[in-house]
Amino acid sequence: MPPDDGHGRRDYDVVVVGGGVVGCAIAWRLSFTTARVALVEAAHDVGEGASKGNTGIATSGADCAPGTLEADLVTRSSPRWEELCASLDTPWRRIGTLAVAMSAQEERGLQHLREQAVRNGCRSELLSGSEARALEPLVSPRALAAVHIPDDGIVDSLRLVIGYAELAARNGVDVLTGAPVTGFDRDGGRIAGVRTARGRLAARFVVNAAGIEAGRISALAGGDEFEMWPRQGQYLLLDRELGGRFAKIVGGVPTELTRGIYCVPTTNGSLLLGPTAVDSSYPGEKAVDSDTLDAVFAAAQRLVPAVRRDQAIKLFAANRPASDPVYRVGPDSRVGNLVHAAGIRSTGVSSSPATADLVHSLLADAGAPVEAEDASAQTALAPLPRLLGHPDPERLLHLDPRYGQVVCACEQVTAAEIAAACAMRVPPRSLDALRKRTRAAGGRCQGTVCLAGVSFLLSLHMGMQPWEIPVGEPEATLGVAS
Amino acid sequence: MTVAIVGAGITGLACAAELAPGERVEVFDRIPVAGGVHGWRAPETVALHRAVLRAGVAMRLGATAVRWDGEALLAVGPGGVQRLPAAALVVATGARPLTRAELGIAGGRPAGVVPAPVACHLAENGLLVGRRPCVVGGGDWAARACHELLAAGAEAVTLLAPDGPSRPLPGGVRVVEGVTPAAVEGGPRVTALLAGDERIACDAVVLAHGLAPLRNVDGAVWEGPGVVYAGSLADPATVAGAREAGARAAAEVRGLLGTEAAA
Ligand SMILES: Cc1cc2nc3c(=O)[nH]c(=O)nc-3n(C[C@H](O)[C@H](O)[C@H](O)COP(=O)(O)OP(=O)(O)OC[C@H]3O[C@@H](n4cnc5c(N)ncnc54)[C@H](O)[C@@H]3O)c2cc1C
């Protein structure tokens, strides 16, 4: 962090507001340049907004509206996933999607999806019901037809956000969490500084990647007026023992309104059922309700009869940052040194590398000093080995005997992995943040067995009393003072 | 033939005791002592532990069993990695109360919604998950959580017992019966549990309702080749019930191996 100039200010070439997948990807891209960059995030960790609760599909773009910026950025990103995820120590697999039609009407919808895929330059093939079942035997025998989109992938989007932020931090980006932006200092038609709860930052350029709060940030900066609202998605997360049997993402047929309900195997083997897509007016609303979950489950079971409600290990919701139009990525029309990366509603994970490149070039166009590449920047994070599924556990224990201490038995998270997470440049500051990095307490018993042990370990690393350990935000502590 | 048993509680030990005369048996437990929830110093644990050792059972205590591939068990512990080729795997890893998802409790994700084993474990270390907690459940875990929370300094405990309490409760616990938990309210910390027409104000919800098998060996979480599940979900759990479950599993293993009980 550049030293403060004696007036409580620090100087940056670019300040990125918002540490979701979009802001972190931008910080990552800028970290390969010689520009001095800060990322400011309101929450206690990166990736606590929309980026925390998405489906983790890295779509190849078949279902994007052709000719849009969204389709362009998603299709540009798609070929990059193998290399990107390897460099960010992020689990990823290109397993492909089956969009399954269960009725004649849905079968017509498949035609539309096929045409769209062709126009977007995405590979796809039309299959009969039995051909679809040959690719994924879990698909309902009543499936009439399907479109197979082989280049879609699944990504651990929590780890992706953390990977972007961690590599950025190692390359010198100051990642300031718990630092909500409260205002801007203006100088004529430009922003001169960013006021945060953790101090003021002098900024030559500002990127607005504040997700659902992007409209408010723009207003605070005196920039363009636009409205953002939450579009909620609810999920059931099912056990690894079933999810591990899936070979494909299985979805319904997308309509004008929604991509529909999916059964999505996750990179850690569990299975997501969802999400719904309902506009609401409460940005903080992350509650699930049983009627909606019943509907999600029924829709999923129609596609895959083998899903069982009693395999649910977690119920949760998240909000997409919706706006009209979507993908408001570009310079502000009033404030010369403000670039928006907002309204990235439904595909922000899938488009993140190309969005970051676009914002980088927009900043360069606006005159930001982001063109010189930094030769000393690291291009990849060293992968952190994990016990779960590891082919050679003996070698792990040889590396670090703490691999022999399994703390979370369901996800097989060891004391070595927890210690490594705590030693990150963007370290976990809550149980949730630790789960995002390691999966500790994120398995089928949801911490019933291990959460006390996990909190004791985290409290040692954080130098706090165990009851003070936050579950999420700092005031949401595990315990109360007795 | 070799039989791997995961879980050195009364069930796993009883199963080992039945099988040891005829088979080669190894018992794994992630905790460095035997006895499981019954405790390592309990007389029944001590007697069974001695008996299985005398019968030649190998005790692998402090080793977490992580993977079963149908032919061998992989276990890791501070002492190293063990791979045990085995003809059968007995899963005797005990039970736990139902999770929030299993109970279908809707609402947001405020802090303070805690599984009973965690609340008890923390309370034993003097850490309180809430001053006015609401415990959900009626059996063993619920009664234990009420005791532990009060002992750790909780001011008022409400018990929401969907099927009524089946165990004696400490004095002063307010009991709400006959309604099931539906949703939590509040944030950042929970402020209420909704159940039927009741709105129970609380600063923690302690999940102690129902029992599910605690299974976490990959490849043996459900039925799998060579896998035998040993356990009882009876509430209250008894030593006799656990012994019976162990003996039943031993008979099942013999069926699987096609061997006779040794006289
Ligand atoms: C249910 C659901 C399913 C989805 N499925 C997929 C999918 O399968 N594939 C896919 O590609 N995409 C998916 N998405 C979309 C994807 O999650 C979003 O497009 C993406 O997360 C948006 O990223 P973001 O960084 O713009 O927003 P966010 O992740 O919300 O990040 C914005 C950040 O800004 C911070 N912030 C706000 N105000 C301030 C302030 N004043 N100061 C500092 N920081 C501030 C917030 O705390 C937040 O961390 C899904 C989304 C949802 C909700």
Q: What ipTM score was computed for the predicted complex, to two decimals? A: 0.95
Across chain A, what does the average pLDDT equal?
95
What is the C-alpha to C-alpha distance for residues A422 and A458, in angstroms, rounded to an integer? 8
What is the C-alpha to C-alpha distance for residues A45 and A15, in angstroms, rounded to an integer? 17
Which residues have C-beta within 8 Å of that of residue A477, sequence separation ≥ 6?
Answer: A467, A468, A469, A470, A471, B111, B189
Q: What is the pLDDT of residue A258?
A: 65
The H or E element spanning position B151 is helix B140-151
CA distance B53 to chain A (A): 25
pTM of this structure: 0.96
Q: Which residue from A50, A84, A77, A83 is spatially nearest to A61, judged by alpha carbons?
A: A77
Q: Tell me the CA distances in angstroms from B133 to A153, B115, B159, one per residue in order.
A: 43, 12, 9
Q: What is the pLDDT of residue A285?
A: 77
Could you tell me if B76 lies within 8 Å of chain A, comparing CB atoms? yes
Q: What is the pLDDT of residue A9?
A: 55
Contact state of A451 with B130 under an 8 Å Cβ cutoff: no
Summarised one tens digit per residue, pLDDT across range A69-99 is 999 999 999 999 999 999 999 999 999 999 9
Summarised one tens digit per residue, pLDDT across range A323-359 is 999 999 999 999 999 999 999 999 999 999 999 999 9
Q: Which two tokens stand for residue A262?
A: 């999916």
User: Residue A14: CB within 6 Å of ligand 1?
Assistant: no
Summarised one tens digit per residue, pLDDT across range A114-142 is 999 999 999 999 999 999 999 999 999 99
CA distance A358 to chain B (A): 35
What is the C-alpha to C-alpha distance for residues B134 and B151, in angstroms, rounded to an integer? 15
Contact state of A479 with B127 under an 8 Å Cβ cutoff: yes
Q: Are strands B88-91 and B227-229 parallel, antiparallel or unpaired?
A: parallel
- Measured in Å, residue A350 CA sits from the centre of ligand 1 at 12
Mutate to test the interface with B, among A471, A475, A477 (most CBs of B within 10 A): A471
B123-131 mean pLDDT: 94
What is the C-alpha to C-alpha distance for residues A326 and A227, in angstroms, rounded to an integer? 11
Measure CB to CB from residue A286 to each of B108, B215, B221 and give the nearest one. B108
Name the closest residue on chain B to residue A315, using Cα atoms.
B101
Residue written as tokens 């009420």? B146
Summarised one tens digit per residue, pLDDT across range B152-180 is 999 999 999 999 999 999 999 999 999 99
Name the closest residue on chain B to residue A454, using Cα atoms.
B118
What is the C-alpha to C-alpha distance for residues B95 and B90, in angstroms, rounded to an integer? 15
Name the closest residue on chain A to residue B65, using Cα atoms.
A409
Q: Which two tokens stand for residue B129?
A: 């998950």
What is the C-alpha to C-alpha distance for residues A354 and A356, in angstroms, rounded to an integer? 5
Please, are residues B15 and B250 in contact by the beta-carbon 8 Å criterion? yes
**Which chain A residues are within 8 Å of B115, Cβ to Cβ?**
445-448, 451
Mutate to test the interface with A, among B81, B129, B150 (most CBs of A within 10 A): B81
Q: What is the pLDDT of residue A5?
A: 52
- Measured in Å, residue A36 CA sits from the centre of ligand 1 at 24
Which residues have C-beta within 8 Å of that of residue B240, sequence separation ≥ 6?
Answer: none
Is the pLDDT confidence value at A482 over 80? no
Residue written as tokens 């039995």? A130
**Which chain A residues are within 8 Å of B104, Cβ to Cβ?**
290, 293, 315
Q: Which two tokens stand for residue B116?
A: 């009973």
The full set of domains in chain B, from first to last, is 2-94+214-257 (3.50.50.60), 100-207 (3.50.50.60)
Q: How many CB atoms lie within 10 A of CB A82?
A: 12
User: Residue A206: CB within 6 Å of ligand 1?
Assistant: no
Measure CB to CB from residue A241 to each of B78, B130, B221 and give the nearest one. B221
Contact state of B79 with A404 under an 8 Å Cβ cutoff: yes
Q: Predicted confidence band at A161 (pLDDT cuts at 50, 70, 90)?
A: very high
Which residues have C-beta within 8 Å of that of residue A392, sequence separation ≥ 6?
Answer: none
Summarised one tens digit per residue, pLDDT across range A241-279 is 889 899 999 999 877 666 789 999 999 999 999 999 999
Summarised one tens digit per residue, pLDDT across range B113-124 is 999 999 999 999
Q: Are strands A199-208 and A9-17 parallel, antiparallel or unpaired?
A: parallel
Residue written as tokens 């939450």? A230
Please, are residues A167 and A380 in contact by the beta-carbon 8 Å criterion? yes
A47-71 mean pLDDT: 96
If DSSP codes are grouped into helix, strand and coil, which group holds residue B22? coil
Q: Which two tokens stand for residue B217?
A: 């060996």
Which residues have C-beta within 8 Å of that of residue B32, sequence separation ≥ 6?
Answer: B61, B62
**Which chain A residues are within 8 Å of B222, Cβ to Cβ?**
241
Could you tell me if B182 lies within 8 Å of chain A, comparing CB atoms? yes
Mutate to test the interface with A, among B30, B68, B109 (most CBs of A within 10 A): B109
Q: Which residue from A334, A335, A354, A277 is spatially nearest to A69, judged by alpha carbons?
A: A354
- Measured in Å, residue A422 CA sits from the centre of ligand 1 at 24
Max Cα-Cα span within chain B = 62
**Which chain B residues are within 8 Å of A481, Cβ to Cβ?**
128
Could you tell me if B192 lies within 8 Å of chain A, comparing CB atoms? no
Q: List B61's β-bridge partners, or say none.
A: B29
Helix orientation angle between A415-422 and A431-438, rounded to the nearest 10 degrees: 110
User: Residue A55: CB within 6 Å of ligand 1?
Assistant: yes
User: Residue A181: CB within 6 Å of ligand 1?
Assistant: yes
What is the C-alpha to C-alpha distance for residues B24 and B21, in angstroms, rounded to an integer? 8
DSSP B100: H
Q: What is the pLDDT of residue B129?
A: 96
Residue written as tokens 């759990």? B237
Q: Tell me the CA distances in angstroms from B217 to A380, B65, B75, B92, one per residue in order.
A: 33, 6, 9, 11
Q: Predicted confidence band at A10 (pLDDT cuts at 50, 70, 90)?
A: confident
Backbone φ and ψ for B162, nearest 5 degrees, come out as -55, -40
Counting from 1 in the atom list of ligand 1, the atom nearest the Cα of A231 is 53
Please, are residues A375 and A425 in contact by the beta-carbon 8 Å criterion? no
Q: What is the pLDDT of residue A29?
A: 98
Q: Predicted confidence band at A481 (pLDDT cuts at 50, 70, 90)?
A: confident
Is the pLDDT confidence value at A1 over 70? no
Q: Are strands A153-155 and A57-58 parallel, antiparallel or unpaired?
A: antiparallel
The B residues from 13 to 72 touching A (CB cutoff 8 Å) are 30, 64, 66
What is the C-alpha to C-alpha distance for residues A191 and B116, in angstroms, rounded to an integer? 52
Backbone φ and ψ for B201, nearest 5 degrees, come out as -70, 135
User: Residue A329: CB within 6 Å of ligand 1?
Assistant: no
Q: A429: number of CA atoms within 13 Å, CB side?
A: 15
Name the closest residue on chain B to residue A392, using Cα atoms.
B81
Q: Tell me the CA distances in angstroms from A123 to A148, A187, A211, A350, A384, one per residue in order.
A: 9, 50, 31, 16, 33
Instruction: Compute the CA torsion angle B120, B123, B125, B128 (nearest 10 deg).
Output: 140
Buried b (16+ CB within 10 A) or exposed e, A129-159: beebbebbebbbeebbbbbbbbbbbbbbbbb
> How many inter-chain contacts (A to B, CB under 8 Å) are there?
156
Please, are residues A26 and A356 in contact by the beta-carbon 8 Å criterion? yes
What is the C-alpha to C-alpha distance for residues A287 and B74, in angstroms, rounded to an integer? 40
Could you tell me if B191 lies within 8 Å of chain A, comparing CB atoms? no
User: Residue A266: CB within 6 Å of ligand 1?
Assistant: no
- Measured in Å, residue A286 CA sits from the centre of ligand 1 at 13
What is the C-alpha to C-alpha distance for residues B218 and A144, in angstroms, rounded to an integer? 35
User: Residue A345: CB within 6 Å of ligand 1?
Assistant: yes
Summarised one tens digit per residue, pLDDT across range B101-115 is 999 999 999 999 999
Q: Which residue from A60, A98, A93 is spatially nearest to A79, judged by alpha carbons?
A: A60
What is the C-alpha to C-alpha distance for residues B245 and B256, in angstroms, rounded to an integer? 16
Signed CA dihedral, A307, B179, B118, B43: sign only: negative
Could you tell me if B233 lies within 8 Å of chain A, comparing CB atoms? no
- Cβ-based burial of A227 (10 A; exposed 0-12, middle 13-18, buried ≥19): exposed
B50-65 mean pLDDT: 97
- Measured in Å, residue A50 CA sits from the centre of ligand 1 at 3
Measure CB to CB from residue B117 to each of A312, A313, A449 and give the nearest one. A449
- In DSSP notation, B28-92 reads EESSSSSBGGG-TTSHHHHHHHHHHHHTTPEEEET-EEEEE-SSEEEEEETTEEEEEE-SEEEE-
Q: Which residue from A32, A7, A92, A81 is spatially nearest to A56, judged by alpha carbons?
A: A92
Please, are residues A300 and A263 in contact by the beta-carbon 8 Å criterion? yes
Q: What is the pLDDT of residue A286?
A: 87
Contact state of A412 with B66 under an 8 Å Cβ cutoff: yes
Q: Predicted confidence band at A2 (pLDDT cuts at 50, 70, 90)?
A: low
Name the closest residue on chain B to residue A318, using Cα atoms.
B108
Q: Predicted confidence band at B263 (pLDDT cuts at 50, 70, 90)?
A: low
